[in-house]
Chain A
Amino acid sequence: MPDTIKLEEKKLKVIGTRPVRPDGVPKVTGLARYGADYSLPGMLWGKILRSPHAHARIRSIDTSQAQALPGVKAVMTSADLPEQKFEYVGPERVAVNFWHMTRNIMAREKVLYEGHAVAAVAAISSTVADEALRLIKVDYEVLPHVIDVDEAMRPDAPLLFADMITRGVEPAPGKPSNISKRIELKIGDLEAGFAAADEIVEMDFKTAPVHQGYIEPQGCLARFDTDGQGEIWASSQGHFVVRAFTAQLLEMNIGNLLVHPAEIGGGFGGKTVIYIEPVAAVLSRKTGHPVKIVMSREDVFMATGPTSGAAMTVKIGVKKDGKIVAADGLFKFQAGAFPGSPVMNACMCSFAPYDIPNVRSVGYDVVCNRPKSAAYRAPGSPISAFAVESVIDVAAARIGMDPLQFRLKNSAKVGTPTVWGPKHAHDSYAATIQALLKHPGYTAPLGKNQGRGVASGFWFNNGGESSATAHVNEDGTVVVATGSPDIGGSRASMALMAAETLGIDYDKVRPIVADTASIGYTHVTGGSRVTFASGIAVIEACKKVIGELRARAAMTWDVDVDDVIWEEGHARPAGKNMGRFEPLSLKAIAAKKAVTGGPISASASVNAGGVAPGFASELCDVEVDPETGGVKILRFVAAQDVGRAIHPSYVEGQIQGGVAQGIGWALNEEYIYDQAGRLLNAGFLDYRIPVASDLPMIEAVLVEVPNPNHPFGVKGAGEVNIVPSMAAVANAVSHAIGRRMTELPMSPPKVLVALDSGRGD
């Protein structure tokens, strides 16, 4: 199809405006249906029995009493799930191992964390299901446990897997350990780099594991027919992934499983994996009834993916003129009960914003007796950025340079090599620094006990597989279907891109999220990929529709299709010498579709490349109460390169939300365990995510450096905002109290200890 429209050269009409989101009204009236909101006639309630121990061998499970309880229709254990092959599948950064996954869904030989699922029941009511769980007798042999990453790496640590040999070490270690993998990325000559440095700053850091904290606990409904066909309604970041994983774990054909995307009540990465869907599916298959499972908040904290806690050492060497000449990072990440922490991302992102000739990043993926880590907003990058950006702050001070100017001087540009190989192809980092330098907040005076911190961050953003279909209705409206669950306004951005491409009004486009049988494969809503990749699919589908609309106009005018162009929502003759034809609107063509060839619709499936990364630079002012160590956030400014903001309000919202999560991570969020490895704060009372009165207005500065590889310049905006936040807060607190904070969270007792350690100096 000839590309008769040059979108990027046009003046944009609807992109960049802020219309009401198409899915908004049901969400303010309570009619939108989330994972827990689906029900079917004859539905049973599924409940999961969870381990009270951090680490134990399962000697036996006796379900007979539960099975015998009136109202109980089925009981399941891991015996109801087939064994899986032990192999890592997929790209290294996001590899999955179904041998692990099936054990995470339902423990087999051992329970590996408190809250690990061991059995499940389906019963006629929630009350009966609860009662049945109490009747299941599990005989455990309690084993020593280990949670802290440094302790888990010790040679004498209790082993989660007796046969785990560290990958990535040559020659392979002779003894098993909890270290699943070692990663080393390197460029240049580290030794020579540090030898050339005038100043070397080296510091150790520790971060607590934190939870994504979505407000909607996981919920799903499954139903199966006796012919083996099944349906699942699930709140997830990717219903195609729910389908693929569930089908694999149940050993069924993908085609026999239909997954419907429920509205999703927050995910932040935590709903890119599955927990309850295979359980509901097995219970439904066993009973012939629909089965609903909804997690409790305690379940969510105990058994779903937090991100890793980490121990890190970062060292950088700097010349007096401010040039960073060498950087070395050691990143040890808790993977949780099964391998797969985001440590590789941490290794890659850590020094990515900077042009440093000699860099090494070493990462360890370490299993421990906590729930398996799951993705959390730019997984890995915020953790390593906390360490790196703290060291950068100290280094800038050491050589007497303004911390933003220091970053600007060292900022990566087009052609700067990355530690993982390819050269940077985009250099918008500097623009985010400039935005802060220009911001009045950067030079505003500070009061007593106040401090200012800045920090920056990098995130890859993502492309990949997406599908879309555009259907032209007979009245000239257009339905645009994608396979991307809408987690924060993506239907609005899909509609805007479709309207812009087709040249019609925003309110003529009705965007939907289609189920797995109604649209082509689409990867998860994650990695800041949807507006970019699914956006490209939408644009491609709309372009195909335009081709068809031109063909219909050509037929109507009896001219060659190449003589028809599409402009501002109308088919027009390509040139004056073509003859005088009144332009045909989309609506006019649609009205005649039956006599010009039938329905007008087109699909596009893409594996979108040309991704451009995201950079953010953030500024935070705090005030510290010198007597309590309490930290109040006074000001927060986040400048992020967003490529182009399709719906600026939702882009700002991403930034404000990411920063708020970063502030929570920085100040108060942590998992607190007792001596037995049991979680003491599995609830929103003591797992302290920020409340409205904890935060100031968060000023989002949209830096728009369009991505040349996307028709509208989209890069992705969802994640990089959280990357600098903890470091920005830490740098601010450190300046306010005159002591360097190297451990997260910077909760009041820790800040007070730091303050007191400084008194009397």
Chain B
Amino acid sequence: MSEMRYEAPKTLAAAVALLSGAKGQASVLAGGTDLLIQMRAGRVEPELLVDIKGIPEMTSIVAENGGFRFGAAVTCMELIEHEAFAKAWPGVTDGVKLIGSIQVKGRATVGGNLCNASPAADSVPALITAGAAVSIVGPNGRREARVEDIATEPGKISLAKGEIVVSFLLPRRPPHSGDAYLRFTPRTEMDIAVVGAGVNLTLDEKGVCSQARVSLGAVAERALLVSEAAAALIGTKVDAAALKRLAAAASAACRPIDDKRGTKEYRIKVAGVMARRAAEIALARSVSSFAPTHSLRKTARTQDSI
């Protein structure tokens, strides 16, 4: 068996140097919940593991410009348990909560969820709808990218050799905003999304949707940002007609495959359903930020979908 080195650098510079200097395959070890399984199955055989959990910037959650910056190696459980974050970004939290079991979330990271580049990654559609920016550091310094531009196809990312996703920046939210992520799985837990849908929307003072972003997971080679679906909501009060158009636009944007987890037809159909239900939850969350007397609408259905 080839020797596999393990390094746990304390700085980003050291991590980048290790990764870019590796002769064979070098893998970033964050939570390891995908990497260890791939190693066990012999699908990857890295020469070098770079454990980045000792790098402070990658494991902290901080307020920044009214938003949040969290390290790519922050575990899902740490993010879920961060009350201010969960309050600001309930939809992103929905997505993170759905990644595996509590045990898996105790290790898994959002950076890993993104860089594993599964089209079904649960945190990714929610991050895309949140407009999250990704900070990347590599041999040529630091650059910024959008979450939707990282994964390109299953297992492939747009990072160059030696580059690491360091952190995510979620912007300050306008008032009356709400986001939500929903997925469909045959089991209630411990499953991979057959379809995932994230919706982030903002209402104006009259309750009209002024901004919206919609993203779908597991319906294409990567998570999709579906502007047609968002357009169906903008300018409406997110009423039944708008939701119907949203669902249709979501279904129309799908280009799924048949696989062991679902059929094309099923994914296309259910993508619309999930998008509509996620929009209803996002709407309820944005409505709840109005003063109690300003009740625009009753709370939409809860996340417990069936």
Contacts and interface: CB of A to CB of B under 8 A. Distances in A.
Direct contact of A and B (CB under 8 A): yes
Interface of A: 127-128, 130-131, 623-625, 627-632, 667-668, 672, 680-681, 684-686, 688, 690-691, 693-694, 747-749, 752
Contact of B306 (A130, A632, A667, A749): A632
A630 B186 contact: yes
5 contacts: A625-B305, A627-B270, A668-B187, A688-B186, A749-B265
A605 to B, nearest CB: 46
Nearest 9 Cβ contacts at the A-B interface? A625-B306, A749-B266, A693-B188, A627-B273, A630-B306, A680-B260, A672-B260, A668-B186, A131-B1
Interface in B230-257: none
B86 interface: no
Nearest to B186: A668
A688 B273 CA distance: 23
A747 to B, nearest CB: 6
Interface stretch (B49-57, B88-96, B189-197, B218-226): B189-197
B270 A628 contact: yes
Contacts of A625: 305-306
A683 to B, nearest CB: 9
Given A630-B306, A752-B269, 19 more contacts: A128-B1, A131-B1, A625-B305, A628-B306, A629-B266, A631-B306, A632-B306, A672-B260, A685-B192, A686-B192, A688-B187, A694-B187, A694-B188, A694-B189, A747-B186, A748-B266, A749-B262, A749-B265, A752-B270
Contacts of A672: 260
B33 to A, nearest CB: 11
B261 interface: yes
B189 A691 contact: yes
Nearest to A695: B188
B158 interface: no
B162 to A, nearest CB: 29
B263 interface: yes
B189 A686 contact: no
A428 B282 CA distance: 55
A691 B262 contact: no
Contacts of B273: 627-628
Identify which of A623, A632, A667, A749 gathers the most chain B CB atoms within 10 Å of its CB: A749
A693 B189 contact: yes
B219 to A, nearest CB: 14
Given A627-B273, A632-B306, A691 B188 contact: yes
Contacts of B187: 668, 688, 690-691, 694
Given A628-B270, A680-B260, A749-B266, A688 B191 contact: yes
A624 B270 CA distance: 14
A694 B306 CA distance: 11
B290 interface: no
A685 B1 CA distance: 28
A525 B144 CA distance: 62
Nearest to B270: A628
A694 B185 CA distance: 11
Contacts of B261: 686
B272 to A, nearest CB: 9
Given A686-B192, A749-B266, A752-B266, A623 B306 contact: yes
B184 interface: yes
Interface string B285-306: 0000000000000000000011
Contacts of B260: 672, 680-681, 686
Nearest to B194: A748
Contacts of B190: 684-685, 691
A129 to B, nearest CB: 11
Contacts of A627: 270, 273
Interface string B196-226: 0000000000000000000000000000000
A200 to B, nearest CB: 34
Nearest to A668: B186
A343 to B, nearest CB: 28
A389 to B, nearest CB: 23
Nearest to A670: B260
A667 B188 CA distance: 12
Contact of B263 (A128, A623, A749): A749
A691 B189 CA distance: 7
Given A127-B1, A131-B1, A691-B190, A628 B262 contact: no
A489 B265 CA distance: 47
Nearest to B269: A752
A747 B187 CA distance: 10
B305 A628 contact: yes
B113 to A, nearest CB: 15
Identify which of B186, B190, B266 gathers the most chain A CB atoms within 10 Å of its CB: B186
Interface string B168-198: 0000000000000000101111111010000
A684 B189 CA distance: 12
A749 B186 CA distance: 9
Contacts of A749: 262-263, 265-266
B90 to A, nearest CB: 20
A463 B44 CA distance: 51
A668 B184 CA distance: 14
A630 B273 CA distance: 12
Contacts of A127: 1
Contacts of B184: 628, 630, 748
Interface in B1-44: 1
B289 to A, nearest CB: 28
Contacts of A629: 266
Contact of A130 (B1, B263, B266, B270): B1
B279 to A, nearest CB: 14
Identify which of B260, B262, B265 gathers the most chain A CB atoms within 10 Å of its CB: B260
B85 to A, nearest CB: 24
A190 to B, nearest CB: 40
A628 B187 CA distance: 13
Nearest to B191: A688
A748 B305 CA distance: 14
Contacts of B188: 691, 693-694
B47 to A, nearest CB: 16
A693 B304 CA distance: 12
B119 to A, nearest CB: 15
Contact of B186 (A131, A667, A680, A684): A667
A451 to B, nearest CB: 14
Contacts of A747: 186
B39 to A, nearest CB: 12
Nearest to A686: B260
A629 B305 CA distance: 11
A630 B269 CA distance: 13
A680 B257 CA distance: 15
A628 B194 CA distance: 11
A18 B5 CA distance: 54
Contacts of B191: 685, 688
Contacts of B262: 749
Interface in B264-281: 265-266, 269-270, 273
Contacts of A630: 184, 186, 305-306
A646 to B, nearest CB: 34
A630 B184 CA distance: 9
Interface in B61-108: none
A674 to B, nearest CB: 9
B120 to A, nearest CB: 11
Contacts of B265: 749
Contacts of A130: 1
Contacts of A752: 266, 269-270
B201 to A, nearest CB: 21
A632 B186 CA distance: 10
Contacts of B1: 127-128, 130-131
Contacts of B194: 748
Contacts of A628: 184, 270, 273, 305-306
Contacts of B192: 685-686
A695 to B, nearest CB: 9
A631 B1 CA distance: 47
